[in-house]
């Protein structure tokens, strides 16, 4: 492998069949580090405003961080593009064997930027810093597991959902155990006729100092609250947590608690599991591996929440099997669960007829109907399924029923109901990629401490979590083991590497704020503003059942909370960053003439 920190990017043009290697500007490496930050800078610089996300000119980037393969926990990669579901900036993350192999396969590079559209289905092979293209005609039409089995090396690929440009298709790896899930990066990959990316390469060989640092940080993580939670329960415990505190979206956002939560939560997972995942290079365990009728699967919390409670299915094996259907098709479980829930409620309300493929009206608790509908969506088989393949919001715009299932920036919400945690509403609304709990998850704190909070506390927590995740995703730290980097944001690690990135925690915090601001600039250039960050009407209706029964969100109150957030961020009332903020973050010479910039001071809110 190349010595020193990676500084290059591979550029693949599928239309021309060409591969080039470009040196990244030192300023990009120091101000954005890698991962999310670097991808945001590249996409903002190279993508023309208004580019069709499913057209050949859109970019799809696979990016790493300067410490990829070295940090504690599982290696990760970021898939970055303009989302076909939302039209906004999209960064989605995945780990596992493919991510680990990608570090060596991109030897000396921080990522690969893919543009154009191949004339036929294609495989991109990355090996020791080089890239080659070959035919994938014999793989087109195969599901994720079949595709990975056909290619001996670690693979990231799309299934039928990506091939058919379902706007929430995933990029799957490791036989479907891992997915870059939300926002439709898989649809972008499928639109380019890129069936798979193969990575061949060893992990970096750490120096003795780095190896010692990794051992120390893994020890810290095992003793950390997050590490102990992860070892005991991983994400499947979130089902029990959300149900206990009354924020578990149930039966299509009608209730906040599920009477079958215990049957699909952590205890059921422990009973069903045959083993725990590991990345082969760490003592840190991963998810719970279970057997289904179509092979082994690793259900996550989102699977059990969106496909279980969200659909009223209380049988663990049935939910795991339904998750395996999504995994093999390459379709996001959160969006898929919401699509099925919308269909059940729309049929009940007489807004649409049941899809022909179901044979009868679907109902909550009906795993078989959910399975058939998800398969129909992946294949765009009939009117309702084809409409849902473009997202719940698009289907509701076409068919009616916009009030049934919530979306923000056209993205379906995860199953944490903000009526039981109002700060979650702010996190969803202001997320750069659409409704998302991964940028900030204040529910974990608010449900226990929120009685003493005011709106300033809510704004402060959401901003802090958004900024810190932007730093950690520029390093591309492990989702959970990254918790032990939060004190200095990886400064100690970066000081051991021959990297251009800053080694000061305060400057790394600026990297996070700069990255968050740049994704905001990308989105306002695409036409997003405060009007895209209002709350769906669903949340004005009181919750039924559970500890949060009767809770609702007052729209006027929320508008004030959002304005307070804008003021704290240095944005104006329309949610547009101001010149003063851009000057402070060294972004004034980055912003282009197509991007609105607020010249007036940010809105001020009185306490």
Whole-angstrom Cα distance, residue 113 to residue 34? 13
Predicted local distance difference test score (pLDDT) of residue 607: 46
Count Cα neighbours of 405 within 13 Å in the Cβ-side half-sphere. 36
User: Phi and psi at residue 173, in whole multiples of 5°?
Assistant: -145, 165
- The pair of structure tokens assigned to 535 is 């709350």
C-alpha R_g of the chain = 22
Predicted local distance difference test score (pLDDT) of residue 498: 63
- Domains (ranges, CATH) in the chain? 8-200 (3.60.9.10), 210-407 (1.10.569.10), 418-584 (1.10.599.10)
Whole-angstrom Cα distance, residue 594 to residue 567? 23
Question: Is there a contact between 483 and 73 (Cβ–Cβ < 8 Å)?
Answer: no
Closest CA to 406 of 526, 261, 249: 249
The arrangement of strands across the sheet holding 155-157 comes to 130-135, 122-127, 194-200, 155-157, 171-173, 178-180
Whole-angstrom Cα distance, residue 32 to residue 297? 35
Predicted local distance difference test score (pLDDT) of residue 444: 87
Whole-angstrom Cα distance, residue 518 to residue 461? 20
Predicted local distance difference test score (pLDDT) of residue 573: 95
Count Cα neighbours of 356 within 13 Å in the Cβ-side half-sphere. 5
Predicted local distance difference test score (pLDDT) of residue 281: 60
Rounded to 5°, the CA angle 451-456-459 comes to: 100
- Exposure string for 447-466, b = 16+ CB within 10 A, e = fewer: beebeebebebbbbbbbebb
Whole-angstrom Cα distance, residue 109 to residue 102? 10
Q: What secondary structure does DSSP assign to 489-551, as a single string?
A: TTHHHHHHS--SS---HHHHHHHHHHHHHHHHHHHHHTT--GGGGPPPGGGGSPPBSSTTTT-
303 Cβ partners below 8 Å, 6+ apart?
319, 320, 322, 323, 326, 333
Q: Which positions of the chain have pLDDT values less than 70?
A: 1-4, 279-283, 498-499, 601-607
């Amino acid at each position: 492998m190349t010595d020193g920190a990676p500084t290059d990017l591979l550029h693949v043009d599928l239309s021309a069949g060409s591969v080039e290697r470009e040196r990244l500007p030192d300023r990009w490496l120091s101000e954005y580090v890698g991962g999310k930050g670097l991808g945001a800078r590249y996409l903002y610089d190279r993508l023309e405003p208004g580019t069709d996300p499913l057209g050949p000119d859109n970019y799809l980037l696979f990016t790493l961080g300067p410490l990829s393969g070295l940090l504690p926990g599982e290696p990760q990669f970021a898939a970055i593009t303009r989302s076909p579901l939302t039209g906004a900036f999209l960064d989605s993350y995945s780990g596992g064997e493919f991510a680990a192999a990608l570090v060596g396969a991109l030897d000396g590079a921080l990522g690969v930027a893919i543009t154009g559209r191949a004339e036929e289905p294609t495989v991109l092979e990355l090996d020791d810093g080089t890239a080659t293209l070959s035919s994938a005609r014999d793989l087109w039409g195969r599901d994720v597991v079949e595709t990975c089995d056909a290619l001996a090396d670690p693979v990231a690929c799309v299934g039928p959902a990506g091939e058919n440009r379902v706007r929430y298709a995933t990029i799957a790896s490791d036989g479907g155990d891992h997915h870059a899930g939300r926002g439709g990066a898989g649809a972008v990959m499928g639109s380019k006729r890129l069936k798979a990316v193969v990575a061949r390469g060893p992990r970096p060989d750490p120096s003795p100092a780095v190896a010692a640092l990794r051992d120390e940080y893994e020890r810290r993580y095992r003793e950390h609250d997050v590490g102990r939670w992860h070892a005991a329960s991983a994400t499947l415990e979130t089902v029990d947590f959300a149900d206990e505190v009354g924020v578990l979206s149930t039966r299509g956002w009608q209730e906040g608690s599920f009477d079958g939560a215990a049957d699909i939560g952590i205890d059921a997972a422990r009973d069903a599991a045959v083993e725990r995942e590991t990345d082969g290079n760490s003592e840190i365990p991963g998810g719970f591996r279970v057997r289904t009728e179509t092979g082994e699967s690793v259900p996550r919390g989102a699977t059990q929440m969106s496909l279980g409670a969200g659909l009223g299915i209380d049988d663990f094996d049935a939910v795991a099997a339904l998750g395996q259907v999504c995994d093999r098709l390459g379709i996001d479980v959160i969006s898929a669960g919401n699509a099925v829930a919308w269909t059940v409620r729309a049929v009940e309300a007489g807004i649409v007829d049941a899809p022909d493929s179901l044979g009868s009206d679907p109902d909550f608790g009906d795993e078989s109907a959910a399975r058939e509908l998800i398969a129909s969506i992946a294949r765009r088989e009939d009117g309702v399924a084809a409409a849902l393949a473009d997202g719940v919001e698009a289907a509701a715009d076409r068919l009616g029923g916009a009030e049934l299932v919530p979306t923000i920036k056209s993205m379906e919400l995860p199953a944490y109901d903000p009526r039981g945690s109002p700060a979650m509403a702010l996190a969803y609304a202001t997320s750069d990629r659409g409704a998302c709990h991964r940028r900030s998850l204040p529910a974990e704190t608010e449900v226990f401490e929120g009685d003493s909070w005011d709106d300033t506390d809510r704004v402060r927590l959401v901003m802090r979590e958004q900024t810190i995740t932007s730093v950690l995703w520029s390093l591309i730290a492990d989702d959970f083991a990254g918790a032990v980097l939060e004190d200095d944001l990886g400064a100690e690690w970066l000081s051991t590497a021959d990297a251009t990135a800053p080694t000061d925690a305060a400057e790394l915090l600026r990297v996070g704020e700069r990255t968050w601001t740049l994704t905001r600039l990308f989105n306002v250039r695409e036409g997003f503003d405060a009007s895209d960050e209002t709350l769906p009407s669903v949340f004005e209706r009181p919750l039924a059942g559970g500890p949060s029964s009767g809770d609702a969100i007052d729209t006027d109150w929320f508008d004030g909370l959002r304005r307070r957030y804008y003021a704290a961020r240095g944005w104006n009332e329309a949610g547009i960053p101001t010149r003063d903020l851009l000057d402070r973050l060294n972004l004034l010479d980055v912003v282009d003439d197509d991007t609105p910039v607020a010249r007036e001071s940010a809105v001020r809110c009185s306490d």
